[in-house]
Amino acid sequence: MYTLTYESVATNKINGAAMEELLEKARVNNQRDDITGCLIYYQGRFVQLLEGNKAKIEVLYDKIKIDPRHKNVTLFSDDETSKRTFPNWGMAYYPIDENNTNRYEYEQFKRNLILMADLIEPTNVTSKHFWKKIKTMISEPPM
C-alpha cells in the first residue's frame, strides 16, 4: 500500500459549504478507489495524507496538483506501508470556520488536533511527517 502527504495554500478562503461539497465528492471517489486519509484545512493552508493503491493515489495527486482551489502543492513525504493510519476514514475533516468560530472553539480545535497527533499511532514515516507538519502548522501564529 502506498501513502503520501502534501501541503498547499488555498488560492481563496474556503467557506464551510464549499469545503463540504469538495469533501462529499472526495468521499464518494475515495470509497470507490479504496483511498483513505485525512485532510486538515487551517488558516488558508491544506495538509493531506492519502493512502491506498499506488497507481490510484498517483492519479489523484496529479489531479490535486492542478486543482485551481490551491497553489504551491508540495509533496513532502511518500512511502510504502503495510497498514493504514486512517483505515476507517474515507476522508476525515474537522469543520472549523475561522470567521464564525469563537476563540474557545478555535483553541479547542487546536487542542483536538494535538491530541489526535499524540493518540494516533503512525504506521509509517509519511504518517509521522503528516502529524509533525500539523503540530508545526497549528503552533504558528495566525497569518
* SS3 of residue 4 by DSSP: strand
Q: What domain count does the chain have?
A: 1
Helices and strands, counts by H and E, the chain? 4, 4
pLDDT of residue 78: 95
What is the pLDDT, as a whole number, of residue 76?
92
Query: CB neighbours (10 Å) of residue 118?
Result: 10
**What's the pLDDT at 8?**
94
Mean pLDDT value of segment 16-21: 78
Rg, the chain, Cα only:
14
Q: What is the pLDDT of residue 51?
A: 94
CA distance 1 to 132: 21
Residues 111, 139: Cα–Cα separation, whole Å: 10
Residue 120's pLDDT band, with cuts at 50, 70 and 90, is confident
109, 101 contact by CB (below 8 A):
yes
pLDDT digits 0-9 by tens, 28-64:
888 899 999 888 888 788 899 999 999 999 999 999 9
Q: pLDDT band at residue 27, thresholds of 50, 70 and 90?
A: confident
Instruction: Give the global pTM.
Output: 0.81
Which set of grid coordinates corresponds to residue 14? 474556503
d(CA 43, CA 38): 17
115: domain range?
Answer: 2-139
CATH of the domain at 48: 3.30.70.100
Q: 15: which residues sit within 8 A by CB, 6+ positions away?
A: 97, 99
Looking at the DSSP bridge assignments, the partners of residue 77 are: 5
Local structure of 29: helix, strand or coil: helix
> Would you state the pLDDT for residue 141?
60
Residue whose cell numbers read 472526495: 26
pLDDT in tens, 78-102: 999 988 888 876 555 555 555 556 6
